[in-house]
Amino acid sequence: MSYPRGKRWLEVLYFVKFGIMILERVIVFYAPMQTERVIRAFSQTGQAADGSPVLTKFDMASIVSYVVYDYLKRYSNVLTSLSAVVTSPVDDYARNSMALRFFEHVHGLSMEYHLNAKSGETMPVLRSGEDSVIHITDTLLYQILPSTLDVILSLAYFWFAWGWKYGLVIVVNIAIYMVMNKYVTRRRIDTWSDFSDYSHKATSRATDSLQNFETVKHFTNEVFEVDRYRAGLVGYSKMSLRATIEDSLLTMPRGLIWSWNLFIGCALCATEIAQGKRDASSFMTFVLHSKQLEDPVDTFGWVFSMIEREFKCIEQLFNILEAEPTVKDIPNAPPLVTKNGDIEFEDVGFQYSPDKKGLSNISFKVPQGSTVGIVGPTGGGKSTLLKLMFRLWDPTSGRILIDGQDISKVTQTSVRQQIGVVPQDTTLLDESILYNIGYARPSATRAEIEDAAKAAQIHDNIMAFEKGYDTSVGERGAKLSGGERQRIGIARVVLKQPSIILLDEATSALDSATESDIQMALNAVTKNRTTFVVAHRLSTVMHADLILCIKDGRIVERGTHEELIQRAVENSGEGEYYKMWRIQSGENKSSGSSTVGDDEPDCSIPMMKPDALTKADPNLPTTPKKAVEETTNVEE
Ligand SMILES: Nc1ncnc2c1ncn2[C@@H]1O[C@H](COP(=O)(O)OP(=O)(O)OP(=O)(O)O)[C@@H](O)[C@H]1O
């Protein structure tokens, strides 16, 4: 339990608890002495006239103090309960502040950590780690400290009041006990470590399969998942049984050591009584005092094994706590100040890992308000480019500048505040639709949220739900369609009102008609804002001010749609963009919207005619639907 520094009333409670603990020690120490006092009081007999023994003095005080101490000691749990009440707020404060610190730390870690971590394991590890930290600090303060005081008091008492021989017997026995305990603890710790691993694995398997229930259903793998979970539980049970058996077997010799201690001490005491050096009452005191030592020394036994076990949990917690964010702010980094929203990539290179190249030599510059289309084959590095802008990773070489400021030299938060992202797959929190849209700006009013939903063309759909905006979206938004999730993602960006917008296949889950409507909404949102649009459907980006074609992490072509097509036409049909355009035109044709020849690319097809293509006004982006229509009309 950590000290509640700065919280005055909690500090007071902390010291009250300490006071109670010291009071308990005094009671525990004096209780056995009362027995001796009573025996001694009633041993002071004289002789009656008939020669029978009579009490010379009836010592009521000794009886009363014996009973009072006995009560206090046996019911010292009264004090313990009192101290529990006193410390409950202190413990809660410690637990909550620690839980918050850990949670904050995990949220502060970079994308890389979250991609590698098993989310099902993180929370159990955090929880058991917190419990362990509280448990250990509580144990140190309220188990080890009192037990140590009990042992020191008893030892000092025997050594000085009874003589060094008694002290030595006790010291030797405690030493033997501790050595044996060390062996026992070491033996058990491996078992407990395996036990804890099995426990976390079983929980993580269950969580993982429940989170991916849809995949389980797709492949009818319910039985497989139950079997997998059962295997985890069986392993866990085996470990638990092994730990319990080891516990029982290894605790038996401990009892033997105490009996041996009692035997030697009793023999010594009996010898001295026989020699007339002590009276019989002292025998009772010795027995009670040395039995009283068992509890604190036993505490050392289980406490150390417990601590080692808890350390295993803490070790897993530390693995998380030691994880450093891979993307860090430089010391005293200033916030990003956006003036225009000009963006420049200066020879940017990035590697996910030494053997995994992400991007190479990416250089381009766009002024504020531009729309940049990013196209290219799958796995080429399009999303990676957006992630670098959002500072989910920092470039390994080169610089990304927003309004002339290197984004790696300003705070991550300020960069992210200026950027709105609609990802490929918008994930939602298991809350209402209202909450999920409002997540973009928690201070937004209901009216603002509804306006954002209207702009994203989802308001009517939401109103058609029985509970409207209060409809729960399910885990990760599973109760909504992909298109609805995407529109909520767009509504979020509308609500956020960022200076820069990143659309990563933001309309891929929509049908052409809805995409057309949304595109209009997006045009309104992206107007005068620098926008990056990653798209496989070229009609989505054909009116962009700049199109970057990215393949194998490099920009292989750049220009406007017209320039790219023109260049390919002049270059005997060579060109990545042109190839994609042709394939997609073919798709259009096969769906009946085009009459482009089936086999060979026909450079004379009207959609590729520069004059026809340049008809499009880059400042007034046509909707995709319109774009498709344009291509077919041109052909006709
Ligand atoms: N976190 C990661 N760790 C390692 N490699 C990654 C990571 N994320 C992406 N990659 C790899 O980087 C390459 C580029 O991925 P990216 O997602 O940028 O491609 P993309 O062009 O957006 O693809 P798509 O069109 O399929 O979305 C891929 O080979 C991918 O496997």
- Going by pLDDT thresholds of 50, 70 and 90, the confidence category of residue 335 is very high
Q: What is the distance between the alpha carbons of residues 577 and 586, in angstroms, rounded to a whole number?
A: 14
- What local confidence, expressed as pLDDT, does residue 22 receive? 80
Atom of ligand 1 nearest to the CA of 111: 1
- The residue written with tokens 């049984």 in the block is 241
Q: What percent of the chain has pLDDT over 90?
A: 21
DSSP string, 511-567: -HHHHHHHHHHHHHHHTTSEEEEE-SSGGGTTT-SEEEEEETTEEEEEE-HHHHHHH
Show the tokens assigned to 411. Answer: 């705070």
Ligand 1 centroid vs 116 CA: distance in angstroms?
15
Best residue among 356, 375, 537 to mutate for probing ligand 1's pocket (most ligand atoms within 8 Å of CB) is 356
- What local confidence, expressed as pLDDT, does residue 45 receive? 63
Q: What is the distance between the alpha carbons of residues 558 and 553, in angstroms, rounded to a whole number?
A: 14
Q: For residues 107 and 51, is the Cβ–Cβ distance under 8 A?
A: no
Higher pLDDT, 59 or 601: 59
Atom of ligand 1 nearest to the CA of 534: 22
Atom of ligand 1 nearest to the CA of 376: 21
Q: Whose CA is closest to 386, among 422, 440, 334?
A: 422
156-213 pLDDT per residue, tens: 888 888 888 888 888 888 888 878 777 777 767 777 777 777 777 788 788 888 878 8
Best residue among 113, 378, 384, 551 to mutate for probing ligand 1's pocket (most ligand atoms within 8 Å of CB) is 384
The closest residue, in CA terms, to atom 29 on ligand 1 is 379
Q: For residues 132 and 307, is the Cβ–Cβ distance under 8 A?
A: no
Other C-beta atoms within 10 Å of 404: how many? 10
Average pLDDT of the residues of the chain = 78
Which distant-in-sequence residues (6+ apart) come within 8 Å of 180 by Cβ? 253, 254, 257
Ligand 1 centroid vs 383 CA: distance in angstroms?
7
- What local confidence, expressed as pLDDT, does residue 129 receive? 81
Atom of ligand 1 nearest to the CA of 357: 12
Q: For residues 431 and 473, is the Cβ–Cβ distance under 8 A?
A: yes
Ligand 1 centroid vs 384 CA: distance in angstroms?
6
Residue 125 pLDDT > 70: yes
Strand 554-559 vs strand 419-422: parallel, antiparallel, or unpaired?
A: unpaired
27-67 pLDDT per residue, tens: 877 777 777 777 777 766 666 666 666 666 666 777 787 77
- What local confidence, expressed as pLDDT, does residue 432 receive? 93
Residues with C-beta less than 6 Å from any ligand 1 atom: 115, 352, 356, 358, 378-384
Our CA angle for 545, 548, 554, nearest 5°, is 160
The closest residue, in CA terms, to atom 5 on ligand 1 is 352
Best residue among 327, 382, 389 to mutate for probing ligand 1's pocket (most ligand atoms within 8 Å of CB) is 382
Q: Whose CA is closest to 170, among 299, 258, 270?
A: 258
Backbone angles phi, psi at 124, to 5 degrees: -60, -40
Strand 419-422 vs strand 45-47: parallel, antiparallel, or unpaired?
A: unpaired
- The residue written with tokens 């956006």 in the block is 338
Q: What is the distance between the alpha carbons of residues 542 and 555, in angstroms, rounded to a whole number?
A: 17
Helix (H, G, I), strand (E, B) or coil at 501: strand
| Rounded average pLDDT over 113-119 | 74
Residue 594 pLDDT > 50: no
- What local confidence, expressed as pLDDT, does residue 398 receive? 94
Ligand 1 centroid vs 560 CA: distance in angstroms?
25
Higher pLDDT, 120 or 538: 538
Flag the least confident range among 181-185, 392-396, 607-611. 607-611
Strand 405-406 vs strand 397-402: parallel, antiparallel, or unpaired?
A: antiparallel
Residue 150 pLDDT > 90: no
Residue 612 pLDDT > 80: no
Q: Whose CA is closest to 588, among 548, 546, 635?
A: 635
User: Does the reported pTM lie above 0.80?
Assistant: no
